[in-house]
Amino acid sequence: MSGGRNGRDAIRAVGASGVPGVNGTVEILVEGEAVSGRAGQTIAGVLLGSGRVAWRGAQQGERGVFCGIGVCHDCLVTVNGVEGVRACQREAVAGDRIEREVRG
Ligand code: FES
């Protein structure tokens, strides 16, 4: 259900400024909670940096980053309403709204 390359084009069009915050930080909302990371980090990087190691529900248990290179899809999240975004491939943009996904 993602649009464009990993949903990136569609996601950038949904009001994200793309402008790094103070001191090169970027703040995103994870399940409604404000989480800060470094500008240029992937969403997975920001999530891991905040202490989250799993964020996607699956029959086999909770998933997070496995390959880290866009192959396994274990890290899928919904970003600004776009499902199926690989958190390890998508740069975090200020104001992104991240929601967990539950998939088989
Ligand atoms: S961790 Fe494998 S695709 Fe993101």
Q: Which of 63, 67, 90 to mutate to test the pocket of ligand 1 (most atoms within 8 A of CB)?
A: 67
Give the C-alpha separation, 32 to 79, whole Å.
12
pLDDT, tens digit, 9 for 90 and up, residues 74-100: 999 999 999 999 999 999 999 999 999
Q: Which of 41, 43, 73 to mutate to test the pocket of ligand 1 (most atoms within 8 A of CB)?
A: 73
pLDDT for 103:
76
- What CATH number is given for 5-101 in this structure? 3.10.20.440
CA 41 to chain centroid, in Å, comes to 10
4 has pLDDT over 50: no
The owner of tokens 């793309």 is: 18
Q: Does the beta carbon of 75 lie inside 6 Å of ligand 1?
A: yes
For the chain, what are the domain ranges?
Answer: 5-101
Residue of 60, 28, 21 whose CA lies nearest to 44: 28
